[in-house]
Amino acid sequence: MVLESTFRFLRPLKPTVVFATYWKFAVERQEVFFRRILGDEPPWSSDPVLRQYKFTNAYRAADRVSQFLIRHVIYEGDADPRETLFRIILFKFFNRIETWELLTRNFGEVALSSYSFEVYNKVMTEALSAGQKLYSAAYIMPSGGPKSPYARKHQMHLRLLEQMTQDELAMRIVECSSMSKAFALLRSYPSIGDFLAYQYVTDLNYSNLTNFKEMEFVVPGPGALDGIRKCFTDLGGLSEAEVIKFIAERQDECLAALGLRFPTLWGRRLQLIDCQNLFCEVDKYARIVHPEFSGRSGRTRIKQKLQPSPKKLELWFPPKWGINEFLHKPPEYVPHS
């Protein structure tokens, strides 16, 4: 089923019913976010799929791990660029709050100035031996392959972080004139592919190291590629990255065409990283709601079940966004009525 009449302004793209679901999902997922922060009790949605399965927030920066990164990793500690990059990349290699807490319990402060491979390796190896996971299951971290000289994956990542600091990567990132150039620097390191480099440059941009516009550059991940395939029968000659940009620039028109109003992050529109993530999430959502549409991966199930947490979300965003003063105010809806 195509919705060309509804979305005629998107030509040459040919959308399917899944694209309409993309926006309905985005609105409901964001409404769930606001119900949570306003202190409502679960369940936060009448949607049976959202009540049963775990999905990321419409805004990447609002997710639990990103919130921890912004509040406790980026903006706690020495603001020196080298120290800031060290903390961000160290956290993101593992992308697991419990691993960061393991390090802070043992060292008090995680800092480049006091870093030692031997000491960090010892703490992590002992944690592994005790059955503790070091890495998040959110995405697969490459191990370096069978030719890696390291017995443990975390050893490879610690050495890679050392190489970045020796290369003065922080100062080179600071000097970059665009997100794409900073992406290319990160992409040049072993085991860091397109997906991870884009995630890392986005995380670095939450800090004061850079101030790139998030609407200037995007790299679709595997899940987003699947989602785009389900949302469109024909891309009209556009690349997947161009599709994400095309959609992000026309988000208000898409919502208006469906009669939807989206609760923004206090006036902050969905950025390219958010639209990219939403394509990934609608790929998962469509496995249940639109099983007739298949992605490249061929996956038919959603693995992670929702386990509602009673803890109230403590929000804090990069100060340069200028929205922290609105965190206890109602959302701003678009399109405006």
Domain locations along the chain: 12-60+168-304
Identify the weakest region by mean pLDDT among 29-38, 256-265, 301-310: 301-310
Nearest to 283 by CA among 269, 306, 265, 299: 299
Q: Which of 337, 336, 322 is nearest to 266 (CA)?
A: 322
For residue 167, is pLDDT > 60? yes
Q: Is the pLDDT of residue 145 over 80?
A: no
Continuous H helices in the chain: 17-37, 48-52, 64-68, 81-94, 97-107, 117-129, 153-166, 169-174, 179-187, 194-204, 222-231, 240-249, 251-257, 272-289
| Residue type at 18 in one-letter notation | V
Q: Which of 30, 36, 28 is nearest to 308 (CA)?
A: 36
pLDDT at 29 over 90: yes
In angstroms, the CA 239 to CA 244 distance is: 9
DSSP state of 320: G
Q: Letter for the amino acid at 330?
A: P
| Residue in the block written with tokens 């080179």 | 172
10 Å CB burial of residue 316 (0-12, 13-18, 19+) is: middle
d(CA 82, CA 207): 12
Mean pLDDT, range 75-100, rounded to an integer: 97
Cα 261 to chain centroid, rounded = 23
pLDDT value at 33 more than 60? yes
Judge residue 227's burial from the number of C-beta atoms within 10 Å of its C-beta, 0-12 exposed, 13-18 middle, 19 or more buried.
Answer: buried
Strand partners, 14: 234
pTM here? Answer: 0.94
What mean pLDDT value characterizes the chain?
Answer: 94
Distance CA 84, CA 73 (A): 8
- Closest to 289 (Cα-Cα) out of 41, 12, 55: 55
Tokens 């390090």 sit at which residue?
103
The model's confidence at residue 298, banded by pLDDT at 50, 70 and 90, is confident
Give 185-236 pLDDT, tens digit per residue.
999 999 999 999 999 999 999 999 999 999 999 999 999 999 999 999 999 9
Helices 194-204 & 179-187 angle (0-180, nearest 10): 130
**What mean pLDDT do residues 291-295 have?**
90
